[in-house]
Amino acid sequence: MKQPKTFPAYRVVDLGRIDFLSALAIQKKILQEVIQRASSDTIIFCEHPATITLGRLAREDNILAKRDLLNDLGIPVVDIDRGGDVTLHSWGQLVVYPIFNLVNHGRDLKKFLFNLEQVVIDFLQYFGIKGERRMGFTGVWIGNKKIASIGIGVRKWVTFHGIAININNDLDYFSFIRPCGMDVEMTSLNKICGREVGLGEAEKIMANCFKQIFYFKDGGSHD
């Protein structure tokens, strides 16, 4: 009798430093593999050079910088198919793309976004920092400053896009946009933590937080 294919509960793919569109192409390839059940849930870690992305319902006027300036600085503006408004990536920001089959985690977008916030809150807890949610605004805050932005896309109940959390990136870039369409000040882990945290260390801790939230707490079944 033919045995069904089995996969580990999840795998981690580290793309390192990669431009936004190249990473998006890899995301979409893995998305198709997970949809076709040719791959297990996958967590992609990477960092991007300075890039502004506009979510599906983003308002163009939430980009505050002149397009000429962005062109001169070589900062692309990319329209993408995730939820949420405008965001900005740059070196030193940890970008996390969880490509998860929500059939195994409850078909509930709100619960999934809540769990992504919890991953970030647990991650910050490891560094002794209290991260908080804000009612009605997905993302994670430290006091009145925002540290992580979240926006996802879902195709056939498989997620893509995800979390951008500031680790040791240059926060001045955020003056080019109104992050998530809000007048909010951004902060980073290094700024709060008072010590240098590298992306490698951050990835390991984040991966463990994902494991705790999605594979031990939500009781999902996995192929």
Partner 1 sequence: MTDVFLPELGEGIDKATVSYWYFREGQVVKEGEDLVEVSTDKATFNIPAPAGGLLAEILIQEGDTVNSGEPLAIIDESQAAEAEKDESV
Q: Could you list the residues that contact partner 1 (CB under 8 A)?
A: 55-57, 81-84, 107-113, 138, 150-156
Q: Minimal distance in Å, beta carbon 11 to partner 1? A: 23
Q: Which of 160, 155, 152 is nearest to 117 (CA)?
A: 152
How far is 68 from 196, CA to CA, in rounded Å?
34
Q: Minimal distance in Å, beta carbon 151 to partner 1? A: 5
Q: Minimal distance in Å, beta carbon 170 to partner 1? A: 25
Give long-range contacts, CB 8 A cutoff, 24+ apart: 188-195.
188/92, 188/147, 189/124, 189/127, 189/129, 189/147, 189/165, 192/127, 192/129, 192/142, 192/147, 193/127, 193/129
Among residues 79 and 196, whose Cβ is nearest to partner 1? 79
Active-site residue among 46, 180, 193, 209?
180
Among residues 9 and 109, whose Cβ is nearest to partner 1? 109
User: Is residue 193 annotated as a catalytic residue, yes or no?
Assistant: no
Among residues 52 and 152, whose Cβ is nearest to partner 1? 152
Catalytic machinery residues: 180
